[in-house]
Amino acid sequence: MNGQRLDLRLRCTSLAGNFCAELIVETFVIGPLATNSYLVINEESAMAIDPGFGSCDLLIAAADKFGATIEVIVNTHGHWDHTYENHVLMQKTGASLLIHPLDASLIEFPEQSLLSTARTPIDVQHPSTPTRTVDTGDKVELEGVLFQVLHTPGHTAGGICLISDEAGVLISGDTLFLGTYGRVDLPGGNIDDMIRSLKSLSNLNPALNVYPGHGLPTRLADELSWVGSL
């Protein structure tokens, strides 16, 4: 349902076991491909993830509701349905924009990100320039809560996941879905890379809550059986 919002409040603890904060994850299902755009809020700071078509005003309104400022935008990969409103969200909030270097050209030249096998009933000519690129081992901080970047190619060459063991959250983009994985038959996709990426996720804490790029959330523990059989 386009524009549908789901929210989840999580109590996260620091690695030392101390009370940290109430982390809020809000999901907006937007655009013609029912893409999940996320707003992650910790205290007065917010991170927008994959601001697809029709998401900008929803993300800003949600941040305002919680008295938070969108400080950073992260693209899990460069396809247009996850990046369409990068430019306007940056203009309205002044937030920085992060993406893996191998997908940076897809947002700088968005005609490259057209999905050749999907209908695209909208104009995708909205380029954006990343503030910086990120790769495995880099960290994104949200008011003291750290999200680790993990490069997970397969759906695209520059796909990434964001992981916070502290908060129990895995933002998986189009790498891992409930019961399946992202398409590998589009330009930049590769099944061998996807299998390696999924295997790397199996090394993470199985208790992580998974927020995918499309579809319903899941738990990593519930996906490990089929991932292990690949």
Do strands 35-42 and 19-30 pair parallel, antiparallel, or not at all (unpaired)? antiparallel
In this predicted structure, the answer to whether residue 36 has a pLDDT above a threshold of 90 is: yes
**Residue 114: band (very low, low, confident or very high) from pLDDT cuts 50, 70, 90:** low
Averaged pLDDT for residues 13-22: 46
Rounded distance between C-alpha atoms, residue 41 and residue 66, angstroms: 8
Q: Which of 131, 49, 138, 64 is nearest to 98 (CA)?
A: 131
Q: Residue 11: what pLDDT? A: 44
**17: pLDDT strictly greater than 50:** no
The pLDDT score that the predictor gives to residue 118 is 52
In this structure, of 3-7, 60-64, 155-159, 193-197, the range with the lowest mean pLDDT score is 3-7
Average pLDDT of 181-189? 93
**pLDDT at residue 9 tops 60:** no
Q: What is the DSSP letter of 76?
A: S
pLDDT tens readout for residues 54-86: 999 999 999 999 999 999 999 999 999 999 999
Integer Cα distance of 71 and 64 in angstroms: 13
pLDDT number for residue 155 = 97
Report the 3 state secondary structure along 187-213: CCCCHHHHHHHHHHHCCCCCCCEEEEC
Mean pLDDT (whole number) for 87-115 = 90
Residues pairing with 8 in the sheet: 25
State the average pLDDT over residues 192-219. 97
pTM more than 0.95: no
Q: Please identify which residue in the block is written with the tokens 């994104």.
A: 140
pLDDT over 50 at 154, yes or no: yes
Q: Is the pLDDT of residue 119 over 80?
A: no
What residues have CB less than 8 Å from 195, skipping those under 6 apart?
Answer: 154, 230
What angle separates helix 56-65 from helix 86-93, to the nearest 10 degrees? 40
Q: Render 138-206 in DSSP notation, one character per residue.
A: -EEEETTEEEEEEE--SSSTT-EEEEETTTTEEEEETTEETTEE---SSTT--HHHHHHHHHHHTTS-T
Mean pLDDT of 24-34: 93
